[in-house]
A = this chain, B = another copy of it.
Amino acid sequence: MGAETTDFAQALRDAGLRVTPQRMVLLSILMGSADHPNADELLARARAVDDSVALATVYRTLSALEEAGLIRKLTLENEPARYEITPAAEHEHIVDIDSGEVIEISCDEINRLRRELLDRLGYEIVSQNTLIRARRIRKPGQG
């Protein structure tokens, strides 16, 4: 069995980035987070591990990781940007407008349709971000 899932140093090297404690910490936090933390939250979580991390470093690291394709920036509405590990498959983000909770859904059919549509227009998709503002009307799978 490989050690890929936790070899942050190797992931950084593979991305052509220098390995620093700050980058290791931030990358590990992002990989271990089920939610989509923003810069402030990442700073707090990083400082729980290494007290000296600065907010400027968080922003610079996020830019570097994003440019390397390791993470994705989520620009939601009326709130600071959030970040997630680059997903294996494109997916949609649903924001529950009452609770603020963000959940993800993946739909191959939508992804395929979108790719075909763009292709017909002469475009190749680089990345995609769908933000759905929705309201819970009942428990799933019922009614």
Contact = CB atoms under 8 A, between A and B. Distances in A.
A134 B129 contact: no
A18 B28 CA distance: 52
Contacts of A1: none
Most central of A92, A109, A134 by chain B CB within 10 Å: A134
Interface stretch (A9-17, A46-54, A120-128): A120-128
Contacts of A97: 126
Contacts of A138: 122
Interface in A77-108: 77, 92, 94, 96-97, 105, 107
A126 B121 contact: no
17 contacts: A73-B77, A96-B123, A105-B118, A109-B113, A110-B110, A113-B113, A120-B141, A121-B140, A122-B137, A122-B138, A123-B135, A123-B137, A124-B136, A126-B134, A127-B133, A129-B132, A129-B133
Given A123-B134, A124-B137, 8 more contacts: A75-B77, A107-B114, A110-B110, A110-B117, A118-B132, A121-B140, A122-B141, A129-B133
